[in-house]
Amino acid sequence: MIQIALVFAYVCIGLSLILAMWRLWKGPNVIDRVLALDTLVVNGIGMIVVFGISTGVETYFESALIIAMLGFVSTVAYARFVLRGNIIE
């Protein structure tokens, strides 16, 4: 049963990665693209977690943690760049 749920989760997350990618490509303005990148990062963390469950290897969670941190910092940096024109004052 876990195998079926894992395949379902892979399909759903892959589909949502494609949808976020579409918004990244189409996005009418720059903030939509930042939001799409943020969603891509969050979905990527989900994908890594599901992969970690299916392989049973613990090391993937460290990478999920690091990607979560980098994703947050990059989103804030992009938004701040749009707001102020520079990142570190």
Partner 1 sequence: MIWDILIAVALVIGAVFTLVGSYGLVKIDRPMSRLHAPTKASTLGVGSLLLASILDAYSSGDGSLHEILVMAFLFVTAPISAHFMAKAHIHRGTVAAAPPTLESGETWACLDKDREEQPADTSA
Question: Least separation, in Å, of the C-beta of 22 and partner 1?
Answer: 6
The answer to whether the beta carbons of residues 45 and 64 sit under 8 Å apart is: yes
Quickly tell me which residue has 């079926």 as its tokens: 4
Question: Least separation, in Å, of the C-beta of 73 and partner 1?
Answer: 9
The residues, any chain, with a CB within 8 Å of residue 43's CB and separated by 6 or more, are 13, 16, 17, 20
Question: Least separation, in Å, of the C-beta of 5 and partner 1?
Answer: 4
Q: How far apart are CA 69 and CA 72, in angstroms?
A: 5
The number of residues making up the chain comes to: 89
Q: Which residues bind partner 1 (CB under 8 A)?
A: 1-2, 4-6, 8-9, 11-13, 15-17, 19-20, 22-23, 28-32, 34-36, 38-39, 42-43, 45-46, 49-50, 52-53, 56, 58, 61, 64-65, 68-69, 72, 75-76, 79-80, 82-84, 89
